[in-house]
Amino acid sequence: MGPRIIVRIEVTEAAKNEIDDLTAKFGMTHLSIHSRIVEWFSTQPDQIRAFILQQFPAEIKGDIASLILKNMRSGGIRASEATPSR
């Protein structure tokens, strides 16, 4: 593993409270929780990232979720094949 990079994030008070609850529940630091989430997100296929980032029009979100799941079931989308966008 190469050198680690520190990145600051901004969250709502509600999100911070939820993360506070997780840190207490799992005995983890904020940094470790955020790092794991970002590491996971960076390995996801572009379709999953776009869905999580809400990059589809609201009218078709339900359809998009169904299409992504169908594509995943058929083997058409795998996280192991994803290349993180930079």
pLDDT recorded at residue 78: 59
pLDDT recorded at residue 37: 93
Q: Determine the 3-state secondary structure of 49 from DSSP.
A: helix
Q: Is the pTM higher than 0.85? A: no
Helix, strand counts (H, E) of the chain: 4, 0
Higher-confidence residue: 36 or 72?
Answer: 36
d(CA 76, CA 56): 19
d(CA 36, CA 44): 13
Which residues lie closer than 8 Å to 9 by C-beta, 6 or more apart? 34
d(CA 20, CA 56): 30
pLDDT tens-place string over residues 15-54: 999 999 999 999 999 999 999 999 999 999 888 898 889 8
N- to C-terminal Cα separation, the chain: 18
